Chain A
Amino acid sequence: MGEVIVITSGKGGVGKTTTTANIGTALALEGKQVVLIDADIGLRNLDVVMGLENRIVYDLVDVVEGVCRLKQALIRDKRFKGLYLLPAAQTRDKNAVNPEQMKNLCEELKKHFDYILIDCPAGIEQGFKNAIAGADRAIVITVPEVSSVRDADRIIGLLSAQGLNTPLLVVNRLRMDMVKKGDMMDIDDTIDILGIDLLGVVPDDERIIVSSNRGEPAVIEASSLAGQAYRNIAKRIMGEDVPLIQLENNDRFIDKLLGLFKSKKKN
């Protein structure tokens, strides 16, 4: 039986889609059977970030409406064995699907895949409710800014009301230069405020933009720091005890991250 993980944030534009694409690809590279569901109906993006936009025939709404069979709508990523995408409909709205249908879809997919990752839309409305309906676990993404952390806190409350009581935190777009100057909240600050466990920290990395230009997730790039962070997150999801890559150790986090940057430069 597979596991359904929803990637959510409340606030828009903080990295849900990027995170879904990268963790999903990393899990597939670890040999897992993975399906990514784009639940952002009407504003689909996961297909583009994955570089699969030209392969879409059917979508999520077609599946729940019975226009096609589930298998017909799944796009197999030919680059990564075991990786599939179920794209969102672009010309429909969030009300085209309901939570019950999402639950059933997730139950069906769990029979065939190890991990089902759901890219949640921004907001707390119908799209959010649909996206979390079938989830077993939740990952909350935030960037280290007041409004994003505030929205993350609200999402944590709403998840808990749905029985998702132990969401894990990913802090995205951390900038060490700003943390050092005292101009950005560090990891300890953020965990302290939100009170949930940390799954990983992803640095702000221009390679993310290059990779989305190309439609190739950053995890395939050995030199991308963000890619490295996402590979480690994937391992942790699989239950491996990856020493929070110098990047993420809660304790003396900054020193360790700086150490990592230094050793990178030497090579």
Chain B
Amino acid sequence: MLDFFKFFSKEDNKSKDIAKERLKLILIHDRANVSPKFLDMIKGDIIKVISNYMEIDEAGMDIKLSRIERENDNYSSALIANIPIKRMKKIGKNN
């Protein structure tokens, strides 16, 4: 409830700043969704890099764009990847 009032209080952000921040977040998601290929491309690249160091379960891999809450009502976008590891490769250990 407290937060609710804070949201509308005058001395807080100007409404145009709120509009701008909200838009930026909305557009990150809209733009990512324009092409379903987008996340697949990222996924492919991540697999390529990580595979140098560990063996991963590609089928069980999940990657998505999401909002995460930060301190006091601030949200930001985050790329969340869940990558099950089968085993580490040797190079990783030697270094």
Question: Interface of A with B (CB < 8 Å)?
Answer: 145-146, 149-150, 153-154, 157, 179, 181-186, 189, 193
A156 shortest CB reach to chain B, Å:
10
> What residue of chain B has the Cβ atom nearest to residue A195's Cβ?
B27
Q: Most chain-A CB neighbours within 10 Å: which of B16, B31, B34?
A: B16
Binds A, one of B17-25, B48-56, B59-67, B86-94: B17-25
**Assembled-state Cα–Cα distance A156/B22 (Å):** 19
Is B15 a contact partner of A153 (Cβ separation < 8 A)?
A: no
A124 shortest CB reach to chain B, Å:
11
Chain A residues with CB under 8 Å of B23's CB are 146, 149-150, 193
Is A182 a contact partner of B17 (Cβ separation < 8 A)?
A: yes
**Assembled-state Cα–Cα distance A179/B23 (Å):** 17
A263 shortest CB reach to chain B, Å:
26
**Assembled-state Cα–Cα distance A179/B27 (Å):** 22
CB-based closest 3 A-B pairs: A182-B14, A157-B34, A185-B16
Q: Mark B15-48, 1 if CB is under 8 A from A, else 0.
A: 1110110111011001100100000000000000
B17 shortest CB reach to chain A, Å:
7
**Assembled-state Cα–Cα distance A148/B86 (Å):** 47
Chain B residues with CB under 8 Å of A183's CB are 14-16
Q: A145-B19, A157-B31, A186-B16 are in contact. List 8 more A-B contacts (CB 8 A).
A: A146-B23, A150-B26, A150-B30, A157-B34, A182-B14, A193-B20, A193-B23, A193-B24
Question: Interface of B with A (CB < 8 Å)?
Answer: 14-17, 19-20, 22-24, 26-27, 30-31, 34
> What residue of chain B has the Cβ atom nearest to residue A151's Cβ?
B30
**Assembled-state Cα–Cα distance A223/B25 (Å):** 40
Query: In the complex where A146-B26, A182-B15, A183-B15 touch, is A153 in contact with B31 (Cβ < 8 A)?
Result: yes
Residue pairs across A and B with Cβ atoms less than 8 A apart, 29 shown, are A145-B19, A146-B19, A146-B22, A146-B23, A146-B26, A149-B23, A150-B23, A150-B26, A150-B27, A150-B30, A153-B27, A153-B31, A154-B30, A154-B34, A157-B31, A157-B34, A179-B16, A181-B14, A182-B14, A182-B15, A183-B14, A183-B16, A184-B16, A185-B16, A185-B19, A185-B20, A189-B16, A193-B20, A193-B23
> What residue of chain B has the Cβ atom nearest to residue A186's Cβ?
B16
Is A153 a contact partner of B20 (Cβ separation < 8 A)?
A: no
Chain B residues with CB under 8 Å of A146's CB are 19, 22-23, 26
A153: which of B14, B17, B30 is its contact (CB, 8 Å)?
B30
B23 shortest CB reach to chain A, Å:
5
**Assembled-state Cα–Cα distance A264/B20 (Å):** 31
Chain B residues with CB under 8 Å of A193's CB are 20, 23-24, 27
Chain B residues with CB under 8 Å of A185's CB are 16, 19-20
B87 shortest CB reach to chain A, Å:
41
> What residue of chain B has the Cβ atom nearest to residue A193's Cβ?
B23
